[in-house]
Each structure stands twice: as C-alpha cells, then as structure tokens.
Amino acid sequence: MAGEWRKRPLGELTDNFDGMRVPVKEADRHTGPYPYYGASGIVDHVDSYLFDGEYLLIAEDGENLRTRTTPVAFLARGQFWVNNHAHIVRGNSEADTRFIMYALSAMDISGYLTGSTMPKLTQGNMNRIPLLTPPLVEQRAIAHILGALDDKIELNRRMNETLEAMARALFQSWFVDFDPVRAKSERRASPRKSPTSSPTASPTPSSARSRPAGRSVRLGTWPTSSAAARRAPRRGSSGRAARTAGPRPRISPPFRHPYCSIRSAASPTKDSIRSARACFRQAPSCSRRGPRSATSRWRKSRSRSIKASSP
C-alpha cells in the first residue's frame, strides 16, 4: 500500500561496490589531493582515486563498531580512494543513500557483529540488517531536513574552531609575546618628528592673502583699524569687559590710506589725530573716518580747534 513504512533488508535497498576496493600500504602511498578512506573516515591523501560521486561507507571492522565514538556509516563525495576496511554501497532506485545513512546511525547493529577480540561486520551480515523505510519521496524529504541540520551543525563547528584559533592567537600575542607592551615601548623610544614646512610655501593664510593690497595683517591678532583698537578694553581696566575680552589687541604696523597720502602710526598720537582731521577735510570717504560720518567728525574736530585757539 502506498505511503506505508516497510521493514526491508539492507541488501535489497543498496548496490554494493566492495569488489572495487584496493588497499594500499602506507609505504606505497604517494601524497596527493584525493582522500584515502578507512573504517572511520579519512586516514590519508593519495595521488589517485577509485570512486567519483556520492557513496555510503560502512565500517567493516574496528572497535568503533562497538564504542560508536565516530559514525559507523558516513558519506563520501567527489573523487576518493577506499581501502578494504569499509564497505561501499549506494542506494538503488528504491532507496535514498542519505536516508540509509541516517537509518543506520540510529540503529543498534551489535547483534550483527562477529569476532570477540576485534569486532567485524561482514558483507553478509550487513545485507541482513533490517531497515524501516517509507516511500522514496518521503525518504528524500527526511534526508533533506536532516541534511540541513547537519550542515548547520558543521558550520557552527567550523565557526567555533575559527573563534578558538583567534582566541589562542590573541592570548599568545598579549600574554606570552607581550606585543602591546613592545609596541608601546617602541613608540616611546622613537623620536617625534617635527612637521617641516616647505621653503616655497607662503606663511600667510588664505584669509590674509584675500585682503586688499596695502593693509598688513599679523597672525593671531584682532582687527587692526584704529577705531576697533580704541573700542577694545585696555589691559588692566576694571569691569566685566576687561575679564572677558582677553588681552589688549595688537595694532598692526603703519599702513598707507587708499584715499590719501597720510601714513598712520601704530598708536594714536596728536600727529595722527591732526592727520586724520586733514584726511577728513580732503577726502570724506576715507576709511579712517570710523563709524561716524565725515560731517560729524569734521564738526567735532572743528569745535576742538576753536576751543584750543580761544584764550
């Protein structure tokens, strides 16, 4: 009846390839890229192969048949060589090879072993092992689910191996070789390199180079106009402005006005004041007039001159 599980012997579900096995002594093996399988897995690599494809290897002898420390049935894929310590089978048209592997891994086969000192699973006894099998479609579905779980387990195992290797390398570097301590001592021992400027580079910043010609700029100073200098708080003055405004700003060296031929001084004096009055009379639009208009400055200077000339 379709969909029923039936118990059938292993010999009816598999094709046997034990006749193709060729054992090779260790002295006669030549190292190569192809795995050389034994009863419990890969034991060596050789330069040739006997099988190409997916096959099921079942241990034929060895203590592992009783202890089951490693799987007694495992898949071999690709090109490989097998010695005479493992049976080679493959599922026929009525069975899936991977499903047979999972079924044998979950069974107790101790009743089919022979030998008191070294357990052995002969080909005849292996073919008599009964397996409870569903239809082929269900076998493939079961094998697919279990195979996905095995792939995840294998991936996690490899990730754990990688993390363990990284942890060992980090421990070796920090607590055995003391690499961080050595690196720190090397940095302390090496002299510090002072930054060197190019001989052709200009020390003047771009903001200073963009100023009009005729005005000198000193790096790190406040605006150099005489009006701004008079408005800034002087050094030693009392009040909140003196505490917050910082040091007294420097005034740039004398410069020539663009609208007249008068040269200003580094600090305001009587001569510079007289020169400023003359500048306002000659050119009201001169940049030395400050925030007040030329008319108001002229009136103020005129009143001062009248006061000075009066007895």
Measured distance CA(208)–CA(9) in Å, rounded: 97
Continuous H helices in 172-269: 179-189, 206-209, 226-231, 240-244
Q: What is the pLDDT of residues 140-163, one digit of tens each?
A: 999 999 999 999 999 999 999 999
CATH of the domain at 51: 3.90.220.20
This prediction has a pTM of 0.54
What's the domain range around 51? 6-134
Query: Is residue 100 packed enough to be buried (19+ CB in 10 Å), middle (13-18) or exposed (0-12)?
Result: buried
**Is 181 part of a structural domain of the chain?**
no
User: 237 falls in which pLDDT band (50, 70, 90)?
Assistant: very low
Assess if residue 293 is contained within a domain: yes
Q: How many CB atoms lie within 10 A of CB 47?
A: 11
Can you give the pLDDT at residue 181? 81
Does the residue 104 lie in any domain? yes
- Looking at 91, 106, 134, the residue that finishes a domain is 134
Q: Give the CA distances from residue 152 to residues 26, 145, 149, 166, 220, in Å, rounded to whole numbers and listed in that order.
A: 35, 11, 5, 21, 66
Provide the β-strand partners of residue 80: 51
For residues 225 and 232, the answer to whether their CB atoms sit within 8 Å is: no
Tell the burial category of 51 from Cβ atoms under 10 Å away from its Cβ (0-12, 13-18, 19+).
buried
Which phi and psi angles does 263 have, rounded to 5°?
-105, 125
Cα–Cα distances (Å) from 277 to 256, 259, 285, in that order, read: 16, 14, 13
Please compute the mean of the pLDDT values over residues 64-70 and round it to a whole number. Answer: 90
Contacts (Cβ under 8 Å, ≥6 apart) of 203: 197, 219
- Is 263 a member of any domain? yes
Residues 76 and 37 sit within 8 Å (Cβ to Cβ): yes
Q: With respect to residue 179, please indicate whether it lies within any of the assigned structural domains.
A: no
Confidence tier at 216 by pLDDT (50, 70, 90): very low
Mean pLDDT of the 205-214 span: 48
Q: Are 70 and 86 in contact (CB under 8 A)?
A: no
Give CA–CA dist 147/141, Å, rounded.
10
Is 58 a member of any domain? yes
Spatial separation of the C-alpha atoms in residues 267 and 11, rounded to whole Å: 115
The DSSP letter of residue 218 is -
Asked whether residue 46 is assigned to any structural domain, the reply reads yes
Total number of domains in the chain = 2
- Alpha-carbon span 99 to 198, nearest angstrom: 77
pLDDT in tens, 2-24: 568 999 999 999 999 999 998 89
188: three-class secondary structure by DSSP = helix
- What the block records as the tokens of 164 is 């363990």
Instruction: Convert the pLDDT of each residue in 114-126 to its tens digit.
Output: 988 889 999 999 9
Q: Which of 134, 160, 175 is the last residue of a domain?
A: 134
Q: Is 115 helix (H, G, I), strand (E, B) or coil?
A: coil
Q: Is residue 215 part of a domain?
A: no
Confidence check: pLDDT of 247 > 80: no
Residue 87: Cβ-neighbour burial (10 angstroms; 0-12, 13-18, 19+)? buried
Which of 90, 105, 97 is CA-nearest to residue 18?
A: 90
- Segment 266-277 shows an average pLDDT of 54
Q: What is the pLDDT of residue 272?
A: 55
Last residue of a domain, one of 103, 134, 165: 134
pLDDT interval class at 48 (50, 70, 90):
very high
